[in-house]
Amino acid sequence: MDLRALKTLEACVRHGHFLKAAEELQYAPSTVTLQIQRLEADLGVSLFIRDGKRVIVTEAGRWLQHEAAAILKTIGSMRQTVSDIAAGDNGSVRLAAIEPVASQQLAAVIAGFCKARPKVELTMEVSGSRSIAERVQSGELDFGVCSVPAANLMLEFEPLIEERLGILLHTDHPLADRTHIASDDLAGLTVLVKEQTCIYRQLWETAVHPTERHAFSCIEVGSISVIQQMVKAELGVGIVPMYRGLEEAGSLVIRPFAEPNPVIAIGIVYKDKNVLGKAALLLMNAIRSIREPPPSRPTA
């Protein structure tokens, strides 16, 4: 059945007159008559009884008009949704980010995006860099915010920020008054580190303390927020990225490492921009607001 014919039928039944339906639809009266005749021929039933200039809808016509109205409403909604998706005001976005970038940098950006586009169905996960990159490559995620992905995944990487490792300490700790801390200063201490697959743990192992034998005791903790609470309880010191949001007045401070000061790039990882929806592209653009500005050049 032709949707235009259903629309014509719905208008004819509602007005009880072909001419008024033609005026509403901006059709010639003959076009309305032809569409109804074709619809009746297609269905093999009479939808209207002609009585001079008047038309009386049959039971079959009345039922079909009810169904047609529902179909036309659904199609109208579909058209609007498709238009909204094309504009980025509807659709879905699936992303993941590493911690603490997710809580310290992205949470406010994501909240602002959701407020501006409440119809977009957004799913945000917190995971490790390796898992995020692999799931972006497989298509499970639209994009991610993590460290540089493995070359064999053939993903695009757009750097946003550089993160440096620091040491999270209780304010009462003897090292809390230092401006910088060397790895040798940790001798005899309990050091709280992330799991082996975490980029911050890997950075710590390779750049700060590459030797296999440690002069301190390590405890693996799978959550930076848990490390934060354990340091607050004065269990030990934590190896964390340097975010002021992890500090707590009167309780916790972060001190940078003395040279070498480990740095890792964090950015947006995606497979192909051309297959991403408008909402995902708009969110990626909003996330770019966290990008660190380039260093200023000295004036002559």
Predicted local confidence at residue 173, as pLDDT: 94
What average pLDDT does range 150-155 have in this prediction? 94
Predicted local confidence at residue 299, as pLDDT: 52
14 burial (CB, 10 Å; 0-12 / 13-18 / 19+) is middle
- DSSP secondary structure of the chain: --HHHHHHHHHHHHHT-HHHHHHHHT--HHHHHHHHHHHHHHHTS--EEEETTEEEE-HHHHHHHHHHHHHHHHHHHHHHHHHHHHHTSSSEEEEEE-TTHIIIIIHHHHHHHHHH-TTSEEEEEE--HHHHHHHHHHTSSSEEEEEPPPGGG--EEEEEEEEEEEEEEETTSGGGG-SSB-GGGGTTSEEEE--TTSHHHHHIIIII--SSS-SSEEEE-S-HHHHHHHHHTTS-EEEEE--GGG-BTTTEEEEEBSSS--EEEEEEEES-GGGS-HHHHHHHHHHGGGPPPPPPPPP-
Q: State what percent of residues in the chain have pLDDT above 70.
A: 94
Give tens-digit pLDDT for 234-284: 999 999 998 888 988 889 999 998 877 778 899 999 999 888 999 999 999
What average pLDDT does range 2-16 have in this prediction? 88
Give tens-digit pLDDT for 63-107: 999 998 898 888 888 888 788 788 788 889 999 999 999 999 999
Q: Please, which pLDDT band fits residue 209 given cuts at 50, 70 and 90?
A: low
Q: Cα separation of 25 and 10, whole Å?
A: 11
Q: Is the pLDDT of residue 213 over 60?
A: no
Q: Cα separation of 141 and 248, whole Å?
A: 34
Q: What is the mean pLDDT of the chain?
A: 88
Spell out a b/e string for 89-106, using b for 16 or more CB atoms within 10 Å of the CB, else e.
bbbebbbbbbbbbbbbbb
What average pLDDT does range 128-139 have in this prediction? 94
Q: Please, which pLDDT band fits residue 221 given cuts at 50, 70 and 90?
A: very high
Predicted local confidence at residue 300, as pLDDT: 45
What average pLDDT does range 47-58 have in this prediction? 82
Better-predicted residue by pLDDT, 78 or 141:
141
Give tens-digit pLDDT for 111-130: 999 999 999 999 999 999 99
Q: Is the pLDDT of residue 211 over 60?
A: no
What average pLDDT does range 130-137 have in this prediction? 95
Phi, psi at residue 126, to the nearest 5°?
A: -115, 125
Q: Is the pLDDT of residue 170 over 80?
A: yes
Q: Please, which pLDDT band fits residue 297 given cuts at 50, 70 and 90?
A: low
